[in-house]
Structure 1
Protein backbone atom coordinates (compact mmCIF):
# COMPACT_ATOMS: atom_id res chain seq x y z
CA UNK A 1 0.00 0.00 0.00
CA UNK A 2 2.84 2.38 0.81
CA UNK A 3 4.40 1.92 -2.64
CA UNK A 4 1.05 2.53 -4.36
CA UNK A 5 0.37 5.65 -2.30
CA UNK A 6 3.89 6.93 -2.87
CA UNK A 7 3.58 6.44 -6.65
CA UNK A 8 0.11 7.98 -6.95
CA UNK A 9 0.46 10.96 -4.59
CA UNK A 10 4.20 11.57 -4.17
CA UNK A 11 7.31 10.91 -6.26
CA UNK A 12 7.48 7.13 -5.75
CA UNK A 13 9.31 4.98 -8.30
CA UNK A 14 6.25 2.94 -9.32
CA UNK A 15 5.81 -0.80 -9.84
CA UNK A 16 8.87 -3.05 -9.71
CA UNK A 17 9.16 -4.57 -13.20
CA UNK A 18 10.78 -7.70 -11.73
CA UNK A 19 7.98 -8.24 -9.19
CA UNK A 20 4.73 -6.77 -10.53
CA UNK A 21 1.85 -6.63 -8.07
CA UNK A 22 -1.57 -5.18 -8.90
CA UNK A 23 -3.55 -3.05 -6.47
CA UNK A 24 -6.59 -5.34 -6.50
CA UNK A 25 -8.63 -3.10 -4.21
CA UNK A 26 -9.06 -0.69 -7.13
CA UNK A 27 -9.94 -0.88 -10.81
CA UNK A 28 -7.52 -1.13 -13.72
CA UNK A 29 -7.52 2.61 -14.46
CA UNK A 30 -5.72 3.81 -11.30
CA UNK A 31 -2.23 5.19 -12.00
CA UNK A 32 -0.55 2.14 -10.38
CA UNK A 33 -2.58 -0.49 -12.24
CA UNK A 34 -2.48 1.48 -15.51
CA UNK A 35 1.33 1.55 -15.28
CA UNK A 36 1.44 -2.23 -14.77
CA UNK A 37 -0.88 -2.76 -17.75
CA UNK A 38 1.40 -0.53 -19.85
CA UNK A 39 4.43 -2.61 -18.76
CA UNK A 40 2.59 -5.83 -19.70
CA UNK A 41 1.52 -4.32 -23.04
CA UNK A 42 5.11 -3.46 -23.91
CA UNK A 43 6.23 -6.96 -22.92
CA UNK A 44 3.49 -8.49 -25.07
CA UNK A 45 4.47 -6.39 -28.08
CA UNK A 46 8.13 -7.28 -27.61
CA UNK A 47 7.26 -10.99 -27.45
CA UNK A 48 5.15 -10.80 -30.59
CA UNK A 49 8.17 -9.45 -32.49
CA UNK A 50 10.68 -11.90 -30.95
CA UNK A 51 8.45 -14.93 -31.56
CA UNK A 52 7.34 -13.65 -34.98
CA UNK A 53 3.62 -14.05 -34.38
CA UNK A 54 1.82 -14.54 -37.72
CA UNK A 55 -0.65 -11.71 -37.10
CA UNK A 56 -0.56 -8.07 -36.06
CA UNK A 57 -2.93 -6.50 -33.56
CA UNK A 58 -3.22 -2.88 -32.45
CA UNK A 59 -2.18 -1.65 -29.02
CA UNK A 60 -5.85 -0.93 -28.24
CA UNK A 61 -6.72 -4.57 -28.97
CA UNK A 62 -4.06 -5.91 -26.60
CA UNK A 63 -4.90 -3.27 -23.99
CA UNK A 64 -8.58 -4.32 -24.02
CA UNK A 65 -7.58 -7.96 -23.50
CA UNK A 66 -5.28 -7.05 -20.61
CA UNK A 67 -7.99 -4.93 -18.99
CA UNK A 68 -10.51 -7.75 -19.35
CA UNK A 69 -8.08 -10.22 -17.76
CA UNK A 70 -7.52 -7.79 -14.90
CA UNK A 71 -11.28 -7.49 -14.32
CA UNK A 72 -11.63 -11.28 -14.20
CA UNK A 73 -8.66 -11.64 -11.86
CA UNK A 74 -10.06 -8.96 -9.58
CA UNK A 75 -13.47 -10.65 -9.55
CA UNK A 76 -11.89 -13.96 -8.50
CA UNK A 77 -9.79 -12.18 -5.86
CA UNK A 78 -12.86 -10.38 -4.48
CA UNK A 79 -14.84 -13.61 -4.30
CA UNK A 80 -12.02 -15.16 -2.26
CA UNK A 81 -12.05 -12.35 0.32
CA UNK A 82 -13.61 -13.20 3.69
CA UNK A 83 -17.24 -12.12 4.01
CA UNK A 84 -19.11 -11.17 7.15
CA UNK A 85 -21.02 -14.17 8.53
CA UNK A 86 -24.51 -14.15 10.01
CA UNK A 87 -22.90 -13.83 13.44
CA UNK A 88 -21.24 -10.57 12.41
CA UNK A 89 -17.62 -11.76 12.21
CA UNK A 90 -15.36 -12.43 9.24
CA UNK A 91 -15.14 -15.88 7.69
CA UNK A 92 -12.14 -18.01 8.49
CA UNK A 93 -9.91 -19.34 5.69
CA UNK A 94 -11.71 -22.70 5.93
CA UNK A 95 -15.13 -21.06 5.62
CA UNK A 96 -13.97 -19.09 2.57
CA UNK A 97 -12.73 -22.31 0.99
CA UNK A 98 -16.03 -24.10 1.74
CA UNK A 99 -18.01 -21.20 0.23
CA UNK A 100 -15.92 -21.20 -2.95
CA UNK A 101 -16.18 -24.99 -3.31
CA UNK A 102 -19.95 -24.82 -2.80
CA UNK A 103 -20.25 -22.08 -5.44
CA UNK A 104 -18.17 -24.15 -7.88
CA UNK A 105 -20.45 -27.12 -7.20
CA UNK A 106 -23.53 -25.01 -7.97
CA UNK A 107 -22.01 -23.89 -11.28
CA UNK A 108 -21.15 -27.46 -12.26
CA UNK A 109 -24.66 -28.61 -11.34
CA UNK A 110 -26.12 -25.90 -13.58
CA UNK A 111 -23.95 -27.03 -16.49
CA UNK A 112 -25.03 -30.66 -15.99
CA UNK A 113 -28.72 -29.64 -15.93
CA UNK A 114 -28.33 -27.67 -19.15
CA UNK A 115 -26.74 -30.69 -20.85
CA UNK A 116 -29.57 -32.96 -19.67
CA UNK A 117 -32.17 -30.50 -20.99
CA UNK A 118 -30.54 -30.49 -24.42
CA UNK A 119 -30.59 -34.28 -24.48
CA UNK A 120 -34.23 -34.29 -23.31
CA UNK A 121 -35.36 -32.40 -26.43
CA UNK A 122 -33.86 -35.13 -28.64
CA UNK A 123 -35.51 -37.89 -26.56
CA UNK A 124 -38.92 -36.20 -26.81
CA UNK A 125 -38.50 -35.83 -30.56
CA UNK A 126 -37.60 -39.54 -30.85
CA UNK A 127 -40.65 -40.58 -28.83
CA UNK A 128 -42.97 -38.39 -30.90
CA UNK A 129 -41.32 -39.43 -34.16
CA UNK A 130 -41.19 -35.79 -35.27
CA UNK A 131 -40.17 -34.89 -38.81
CA UNK A 132 -37.52 -32.49 -37.54
CA UNK A 133 -35.63 -35.10 -35.47
CA UNK A 134 -32.64 -35.22 -37.91
CA UNK A 135 -32.34 -31.44 -37.73
CA UNK A 136 -32.30 -31.54 -33.92
CA UNK A 137 -29.73 -34.33 -33.91
CA UNK A 138 -27.56 -32.24 -36.23
CA UNK A 139 -28.01 -29.19 -33.95
CA UNK A 140 -27.04 -31.30 -30.92
CA UNK A 141 -23.89 -32.47 -32.68
CA UNK A 142 -23.12 -28.87 -33.67
CA UNK A 143 -23.48 -27.59 -30.09
CA UNK A 144 -21.32 -30.40 -28.73
CA UNK A 145 -18.67 -29.64 -31.35
CA UNK A 146 -18.67 -25.93 -30.48
CA UNK A 147 -18.46 -26.71 -26.76
CA UNK A 148 -19.53 -24.57 -23.80
CA UNK A 149 -17.93 -21.43 -25.23
CA UNK A 150 -19.49 -21.86 -28.67
CA UNK A 151 -22.50 -19.63 -28.09
CA UNK A 152 -22.39 -16.17 -26.58
CA UNK A 153 -24.23 -15.99 -23.31
CA UNK A 154 -26.41 -13.13 -22.14
CA UNK A 155 -24.74 -13.34 -18.74
CA UNK A 156 -21.49 -14.79 -17.52
CA UNK A 157 -21.44 -17.90 -15.34
CA UNK A 158 -19.81 -15.86 -12.57
CA UNK A 159 -22.49 -14.10 -10.58
CA UNK A 160 -21.90 -11.49 -7.91
CA UNK A 161 -23.63 -8.55 -6.36
CA UNK A 162 -21.15 -6.01 -7.65
CA UNK A 163 -20.90 -6.36 -11.40
CA UNK A 164 -22.35 -8.37 -14.26
CA UNK A 165 -19.79 -9.45 -16.84
CA UNK A 166 -20.97 -9.99 -20.39
CA UNK A 167 -18.71 -11.97 -22.68
CA UNK A 168 -19.56 -11.64 -26.35
CA UNK A 169 -17.65 -14.06 -28.48
CA UNK A 170 -16.90 -12.85 -31.98
CA UNK A 171 -16.09 -16.02 -33.86
CA UNK A 172 -15.73 -15.26 -37.53
CA UNK A 173 -15.60 -18.96 -38.41
CA UNK A 174 -19.16 -19.56 -37.28
CA UNK A 175 -21.01 -16.47 -38.41
CA UNK A 176 -23.07 -18.43 -40.91
CA UNK A 177 -24.92 -20.54 -38.34
CA UNK A 178 -26.60 -17.85 -36.23
CA UNK A 179 -30.02 -18.85 -37.56
CA UNK A 180 -29.46 -22.46 -36.53
CA UNK A 181 -28.25 -21.51 -33.05
CA UNK A 182 -31.28 -19.23 -32.65
CA UNK A 183 -33.51 -22.27 -33.23
CA UNK A 184 -32.11 -23.73 -30.02
CA UNK A 185 -32.58 -20.46 -28.12
CA UNK A 186 -36.17 -20.09 -29.38
CA UNK A 187 -37.02 -23.62 -28.26
CA UNK A 188 -36.86 -22.34 -24.67
CA UNK A 189 -39.93 -20.19 -25.36
CA UNK A 190 -41.84 -22.99 -27.04
CA UNK A 191 -41.11 -25.77 -24.52
CA UNK A 192 -41.45 -24.21 -21.10
CA UNK A 193 -41.69 -27.59 -19.34
CA UNK A 194 -38.27 -28.70 -20.64
CA UNK A 195 -36.30 -25.55 -19.92
Structure 2
Protein backbone atom coordinates (compact mmCIF):
# COMPACT_ATOMS: atom_id res chain seq x y z
CA UNK A 1 0.00 0.00 0.00
CA UNK A 2 2.86 2.36 0.78
CA UNK A 3 4.35 1.86 -2.68
CA UNK A 4 0.93 2.56 -4.14
CA UNK A 5 0.80 5.91 -2.35
CA UNK A 6 4.27 6.81 -3.60
CA UNK A 7 3.27 5.95 -7.15
CA UNK A 8 0.04 7.95 -6.82
CA UNK A 9 2.08 10.96 -5.73
CA UNK A 10 4.44 10.67 -8.71
CA UNK A 11 1.51 10.31 -11.11
CA UNK A 12 -0.07 13.47 -9.72
CA UNK A 13 3.14 15.52 -9.67
CA UNK A 14 4.47 14.53 -13.10
CA UNK A 15 1.15 13.81 -14.86
CA UNK A 16 2.00 10.24 -15.81
CA UNK A 17 0.03 7.01 -15.71
CA UNK A 18 2.91 4.57 -16.28
CA UNK A 19 6.70 4.56 -16.36
CA UNK A 20 6.78 4.90 -20.15
CA UNK A 21 5.01 8.28 -19.96
CA UNK A 22 8.05 9.72 -18.21
CA UNK A 23 9.98 9.75 -21.50
CA UNK A 24 8.29 13.08 -22.19
CA UNK A 25 9.70 14.61 -18.99
CA UNK A 26 11.60 17.83 -19.62
CA UNK A 27 14.86 17.72 -17.62
CA UNK A 28 15.95 20.57 -15.41
CA UNK A 29 17.78 23.40 -17.13
CA UNK A 30 21.52 22.80 -16.84
CA UNK A 31 22.25 26.39 -15.78
CA UNK A 32 19.67 26.18 -12.97
CA UNK A 33 21.22 22.95 -11.69
CA UNK A 34 24.73 24.40 -11.76
CA UNK A 35 23.58 27.57 -10.01
CA UNK A 36 21.93 25.57 -7.21
CA UNK A 37 24.81 23.17 -6.69
CA UNK A 38 27.73 25.60 -7.00
CA UNK A 39 26.44 29.17 -6.69
CA UNK A 40 23.74 29.00 -4.00
CA UNK A 41 20.91 29.23 -6.56
CA UNK A 42 17.20 28.94 -5.68
CA UNK A 43 16.90 25.24 -6.53
CA UNK A 44 14.01 23.27 -8.04
CA UNK A 45 10.76 25.06 -8.84
CA UNK A 46 8.09 23.73 -6.48
CA UNK A 47 5.40 24.38 -9.09
CA UNK A 48 7.23 22.60 -11.88
CA UNK A 49 9.54 19.91 -10.56
CA UNK A 50 12.12 18.74 -13.07
CA UNK A 51 14.80 16.14 -12.36
CA UNK A 52 18.41 16.45 -13.45
CA UNK A 53 18.29 13.36 -15.68
CA UNK A 54 21.98 13.35 -16.51
CA UNK A 55 22.69 11.82 -13.09
CA UNK A 56 21.23 9.50 -10.48
CA UNK A 57 19.24 10.34 -7.38
CA UNK A 58 22.20 11.26 -5.18
CA UNK A 59 22.95 14.67 -6.74
CA UNK A 60 22.08 17.75 -4.64
CA UNK A 61 19.38 18.80 -7.15
CA UNK A 62 17.66 15.43 -7.33
CA UNK A 63 18.05 14.83 -3.60
CA UNK A 64 16.26 18.13 -2.99
CA UNK A 65 13.36 17.05 -5.21
CA UNK A 66 13.09 13.73 -3.38
CA UNK A 67 12.98 15.61 -0.07
CA UNK A 68 10.17 17.77 -1.43
CA UNK A 69 8.27 14.67 -2.54
CA UNK A 70 8.81 13.12 0.89
CA UNK A 71 7.30 16.18 2.60
CA UNK A 72 4.29 15.95 0.30
CA UNK A 73 3.88 12.30 1.26
CA UNK A 74 3.99 13.27 4.93
CA UNK A 75 1.35 15.95 4.33
CA UNK A 76 -0.93 13.47 2.58
CA UNK A 77 -0.40 10.95 5.36
CA UNK A 78 -1.67 13.40 7.96
CA UNK A 79 -4.43 14.87 5.83
CA UNK A 80 -5.81 11.55 4.60
CA UNK A 81 -5.12 9.70 7.87
CA UNK A 82 -3.40 6.69 6.40
CA UNK A 83 -3.85 3.54 8.53
CA UNK A 84 -0.11 2.82 8.49
CA UNK A 85 2.95 4.73 9.66
CA UNK A 86 6.42 4.37 8.15
CA UNK A 87 9.72 6.12 8.77
CA UNK A 88 11.05 8.80 6.44
CA UNK A 89 13.92 6.49 5.52
CA UNK A 90 11.47 3.82 4.41
CA UNK A 91 9.67 6.20 2.04
CA UNK A 92 12.97 7.64 0.86
CA UNK A 93 14.10 4.20 -0.33
CA UNK A 94 10.85 3.72 -2.28
CA UNK A 95 11.14 7.18 -3.84
CA UNK A 96 14.73 6.55 -4.91
CA UNK A 97 13.80 3.19 -6.42
CA UNK A 98 10.91 4.79 -8.32
CA UNK A 99 13.17 7.52 -9.61
CA UNK A 100 15.63 4.92 -10.92
CA UNK A 101 12.83 3.20 -12.83
CA UNK A 102 11.61 6.46 -14.33
CA UNK A 103 15.16 7.52 -15.16
CA UNK A 104 15.78 4.18 -16.89
CA UNK A 105 12.64 4.61 -18.99
CA UNK A 106 13.68 8.15 -19.95
CA UNK A 107 17.24 7.13 -20.82
CA UNK A 108 16.02 4.29 -23.02
CA UNK A 109 14.02 6.78 -25.09
CA UNK A 110 16.98 9.04 -25.83
CA UNK A 111 18.50 8.83 -29.35
CA UNK A 112 21.51 6.53 -29.54
CA UNK A 113 24.41 6.57 -31.96
CA UNK A 114 23.80 4.15 -34.83
CA UNK A 115 26.36 1.94 -36.55
CA UNK A 116 26.80 4.74 -39.09
CA UNK A 117 27.94 7.12 -36.37
CA UNK A 118 24.84 9.33 -36.42
CA UNK A 119 22.03 9.80 -33.91
CA UNK A 120 18.81 7.88 -34.29
CA UNK A 121 15.82 9.66 -35.75
CA UNK A 122 12.56 9.88 -33.80
CA UNK A 123 11.14 7.05 -35.93
CA UNK A 124 14.15 4.84 -35.22
CA UNK A 125 13.87 5.49 -31.48
CA UNK A 126 10.19 4.59 -31.57
CA UNK A 127 10.88 1.39 -33.50
CA UNK A 128 13.61 0.38 -31.04
CA UNK A 129 11.34 0.96 -28.05
CA UNK A 130 8.49 -1.01 -29.62
CA UNK A 131 10.82 -3.90 -30.38
CA UNK A 132 12.20 -3.89 -26.85
CA UNK A 133 8.73 -3.74 -25.34
CA UNK A 134 7.67 -6.69 -27.48
CA UNK A 135 10.65 -8.73 -26.29
CA UNK A 136 9.89 -7.85 -22.66
CA UNK A 137 6.24 -8.85 -23.00
CA UNK A 138 7.25 -12.10 -24.69
CA UNK A 139 9.68 -12.87 -21.86
CA UNK A 140 7.02 -12.15 -19.21
CA UNK A 141 4.53 -14.34 -21.06
CA UNK A 142 6.98 -17.23 -21.26
CA UNK A 143 7.85 -16.95 -17.57
CA UNK A 144 4.16 -16.90 -16.62
CA UNK A 145 3.39 -19.91 -18.82
CA UNK A 146 6.26 -21.86 -17.31
CA UNK A 147 5.17 -20.99 -13.78
CA UNK A 148 1.56 -22.00 -14.44
CA UNK A 149 2.65 -25.27 -16.04
CA UNK A 150 4.85 -26.08 -13.03
CA UNK A 151 2.00 -25.39 -10.59
CA UNK A 152 -0.43 -27.56 -12.58
CA UNK A 153 1.98 -30.49 -12.78
CA UNK A 154 3.01 -30.25 -9.13
CA UNK A 155 -0.62 -30.20 -7.95
CA UNK A 156 -1.58 -33.05 -10.25
CA UNK A 157 1.27 -35.25 -9.00
CA UNK A 158 0.51 -34.43 -5.38
CA UNK A 159 -3.12 -35.41 -5.92
CA UNK A 160 -2.23 -38.68 -7.68
CA UNK A 161 0.24 -39.71 -4.96
CA UNK A 162 -2.38 -39.08 -2.26
CA UNK A 163 -4.77 -41.42 -4.06
CA UNK A 164 -2.19 -44.18 -4.29
CA UNK A 165 -1.81 -46.92 -1.69
CA UNK A 166 1.57 -47.90 -0.31
CA UNK A 167 1.12 -51.26 -1.99
CA UNK A 168 0.66 -49.83 -5.50
CA UNK A 169 3.51 -50.98 -7.70
CA UNK A 170 3.72 -47.68 -9.59
CA UNK A 171 3.84 -45.44 -6.49
CA UNK A 172 7.68 -45.16 -6.54
CA UNK A 173 7.53 -44.05 -10.17
CA UNK A 174 5.03 -41.29 -9.38
CA UNK A 175 7.10 -40.16 -6.39
CA UNK A 176 10.23 -40.09 -8.56
CA UNK A 177 8.39 -37.98 -11.13
CA UNK A 178 7.23 -35.57 -8.40
CA UNK A 179 10.80 -35.19 -7.18
CA UNK A 180 11.96 -34.56 -10.74
CA UNK A 181 9.38 -31.81 -11.32
CA UNK A 182 10.31 -30.09 -8.05
CA UNK A 183 13.99 -30.28 -8.94
CA UNK A 184 13.42 -28.74 -12.37
CA UNK A 185 11.26 -25.94 -10.95
CA UNK A 186 9.68 -23.19 -13.07
CA UNK A 187 12.65 -22.89 -15.39
CA UNK A 188 12.53 -26.57 -16.26
CA UNK A 189 9.10 -26.28 -17.80
CA UNK A 190 8.79 -25.72 -21.54
CA UNK A 191 7.06 -22.59 -22.83
CA UNK A 192 3.77 -22.66 -24.72
CA UNK A 193 5.20 -21.12 -27.87
CA UNK A 194 5.28 -24.24 -30.03
CA UNK A 195 4.42 -27.90 -30.21
CA UNK A 196 8.08 -28.76 -29.73
CA UNK A 197 9.02 -29.02 -26.07
CA UNK A 198 12.60 -28.98 -24.85
CA UNK A 199 13.88 -29.59 -28.40
CA UNK A 200 12.14 -32.98 -28.51
CA UNK A 201 9.72 -33.45 -31.39
CA UNK A 202 7.01 -36.07 -31.27
CA UNK A 203 6.83 -38.15 -34.47
CA UNK A 204 3.93 -40.55 -35.12
CA UNK A 205 4.72 -43.69 -37.12
CA UNK A 206 2.38 -46.37 -38.42
CA UNK A 207 3.12 -49.73 -36.84
CA UNK A 208 2.38 -52.90 -38.80
CA UNK A 209 0.38 -55.30 -36.67
CA UNK A 210 0.44 -59.01 -37.39
CA UNK A 211 -3.31 -59.35 -37.09
CA UNK A 212 -4.10 -56.41 -39.42
CA UNK A 213 -4.48 -56.85 -43.19
CA UNK A 214 -2.12 -54.80 -45.27
CA UNK A 215 -3.79 -52.04 -47.25
CA UNK A 216 -2.37 -51.00 -50.57
Name the residue aligned to 1:187: 184
Q: CA offset at residue 107 of structure 1?
A: 1.0
Pick aligned residue for 1:64 from 93, 100, 103: 93
- Aligned residue runs from structure 1 range 130-145, under 5 A: 131-132=157-158
Change (3 A) 1:18 1:188: same
**Alignment partner for residue 2 of structure 1, among 31, 38, 41?**
31
| 1:133 shift after superposition | 5.4
Match status 1:99 vs 2:96: no
**Structure number, greater radius of gyration:** 2
RMSD (Å), alpha carbons = 3.0
Q: Deviations over 1:123-148 (max 9, x none)?
A: 8789xxx743569xxxxxxxxxxxxx
- Consecutive unaligned residues of structure 1, counting only runs of 5 or more, are 136-182
Query: Residues 184 and 131 from structure 1, CA distance in 2 versus in 1: closer, same or farther, beyond 3 angstroms?
Result: closer
In structure 2, relative to structure 1, the CA distance for the partners of 1:107 and 1:9 (3 Å cut) is same
- Within a 5 Å distance, the mapping from 1:45-194 to structure 2 comes to 45-118=74-147, 120-121=149-150, 131-132=157-158, 186-188=183-185, 191=188
Structure 2 residue runs without a partner (length 5+): 1-29, 162-179, 191-196, 199-216
Corresponding residue number in structure 2 for 1:35: 64
